[in-house]
Amino acid sequence: MQKELHPEYKETTITCACGEEYVTKSTGEDMRVEVCSSCHPFYTGKKRRAAKGGRVERFNKKYGISEEESEEETEEK
């Protein structure tokens, strides 16, 4: 390896939003992350349901159409 060509590789602490800390080596300084393997739903098995809904539900919510109104319209046709 050539000197002064490669960045310095040093110990770094990675801190997650859940409070978990990992010590590893990196070229960067101490880092903060939002999700780690201790709190990520894929690794913990606690899957969170997305609240986005489908296209129809988002359209109805955006334009203030309730489910009752949309059912009445379909019955009239």
pLDDT confidence of residue 75? 63
The reply to whether the predicted model has a pTM over 0.75 is: no
Task: Render pLDDT for 17-58 as a digit per residue (tens, 0 to 9).
Answer: 888 899 999 999 999 988 888 887 776 666 655 555 678 888
Nearest to 16 by CA among 47, 37, 1: 37
| Contact present, 61 and 67 (Cβ < 8 Å) | no
DSSP code per residue over 27-41: SS--EEES--TTT-H
- On whether the CB atoms of residues 22 and 38 are closer than 8 A, the answer is no
Helices and strands of the chain, counted as H and E runs: 3, 3
CATH architecture of 10-76: Irregular (4.10)
Domain positions in the chain = 10-76
